[in-house]
Structure 1
Amino acid sequence: MQTTEPDSIAELIADCAQIPRSVRESPNTPPIQRHAAVWEVTDSCRAQVADLDEYV
């Protein structure tokens, strides 16, 4: 199977119409949101930059 770039917007639309509906449609429900883990500065983190005059 050889894939080529479309030469016109009509060709692009025709190509996209061939994509199965199951791939084009999003699920009915959004994904469940997860909370990020709490981040804390530990003593080992501080020790990594302790001798630096400027930490960027």
Structure 2
Amino acid sequence: MKPQEPDNLDELIADCADIPPVLTERKPVLPAPRPATRWVVDDAAVAQVAGIDEFV
């Protein structure tokens, strides 16, 4: 059964009053994400891919 749409503003307000509070409460604002840490490539990482061009 499809819910009936409100016909006027009073019905719309009454329908909105039936919305559970858990759906209308304001949620806390999340903090902004931290900036990403800059990548650092050391000699060990470079050694792991040394010669990869031969395999590709």
Counterpart of 2:16?
Answer: 16
Change (3 A) 1:8 1:32: same
May I ask how many residue pairs the two structures share in their alignment? Answer: 36
Structure 1 residue 22, shift from structure 2 partner: 0.7
Higher alpha-carbon Rg? 2
* Identical aligned residues as a percent: 42
TM-score norm. by structure 2 comes to 0.50
The residue correspondences of 1:31-46 to structure 2 (distance < 5 A) are 31-34=30-33
Q: Which has the higher contact order (CA 8 A, sep 6+)?
A: 2
When the two chains are superposed, the root-mean-square deviation of aligned CA atoms in Å is 2.0
Q: Which runs of 5+ in 1 are unaligned?
A: 38-56
